[in-house]
Amino acid sequence: MKLVVSLINVNKLYGEGENKFYALKDISLSINHGEFIAIIGPSGSGKSTLMNIIGLLDKPTSGKYSINGKEVIRFDEDRLANLRNQKIGFIFQSFNLLPRTSAVDNVALPLIYSGVNKENRTSKAKEALIRVGLGEKFNSKPNQLSGGQQQRVAIARALVTNPQIILADEPTGNLDTKTGEEIMKLFTDLNKEGKTVILITHELEIAKKARRIIQLRDGKVVNGNN
């Protein structure tokens, strides 16, 4: 099976002198194409730091990180931004939608950075919204949508560039139980279609929806890296 994400002895150090601390300590982690992974741990375990490194939003202090066999730690910001836009679709707990912008235009936003023309952006955005069950909400603004619908818009935005990896940070955190289950089914379906899904959560019941659970504690992997 093709290796997509590889971290070897990754450390993340913050602060200096007496105030320095390791948010991540010697993290080694391998994720193959088509896996559905949940990274779980309590507050302060290093989940968000690990997500930021996997998502190319931050760099480790030391260690190696490769995507599709390419060592990315030495990439400059422009190259990292291009790789993020091409390979990774982000979904956040707070949805991060533009409040005065329609669902279609919110979803189309990543395509602007890819240089896609307006007609194609709109077409691709509509396809992505239909894919997540919002074919009747193209022109709705976030305040006209429920929390679950807003998260679906966010998922459509993550899918519109056809990324290899879906990286979801507490995607059900602001949703009720029933809506959260619907969103998790959507992730399961995307995984069945071949997407590599990496889910960050502190909820065990949510993590159990994944095929493999990786548990963090105090910046270390304590279970699940196999």
3-state secondary structure of 127: helix
**Which residue from 54, 96, 91 is spatially nearest to 170, judged by alpha carbons?**
91
**What are 36-80's pLDDT values in tens digits?**
999 999 988 999 999 999 999 999 999 999 999 999 988 999 999
Confidence of residue 225 (pLDDT cuts 50, 70, 90): low
CA dist 102 and 137 (Å) reads 9
Sketch out the chain's domains with CATH numbers: 34-63+76-223 (3.40.50.300)
Q: Distance between alpha carbon 69 and the CA centroid of its chain, in Å?
A: 19
Q: Is the pLDDT of residue 1 over 80?
A: no
Pure H helices in 9-116? 47-54, 77-87, 103-113
**Which residue from 66, 63, 70 is spatially nearest to 27, judged by alpha carbons?**
63
Q: Is the pLDDT of residue 89 over 60?
A: yes
Residue 209, both tokens: 């929806």
Q: Is the pLDDT of residue 82 over 60?
A: yes
| More confidently predicted of 74 and 35 | 35
Residues written for the chain: 226
Residue 114: predicted pLDDT: 81
**What are 102-145's pLDDT values in tens digits?**
999 999 999 988 888 989 999 999 999 999 999 999 999 999 99
**What are 165-212's pLDDT values in tens digits?**
999 999 998 889 999 999 999 999 999 999 999 999 988 999 999 999
CA dist 52 and 150 (Å) reads 22
3-state secondary structure of 23: strand
Q: Is the pLDDT of residue 224 over 80?
A: no
C-alpha torsion 150→154→155→158, nearest 10: 170
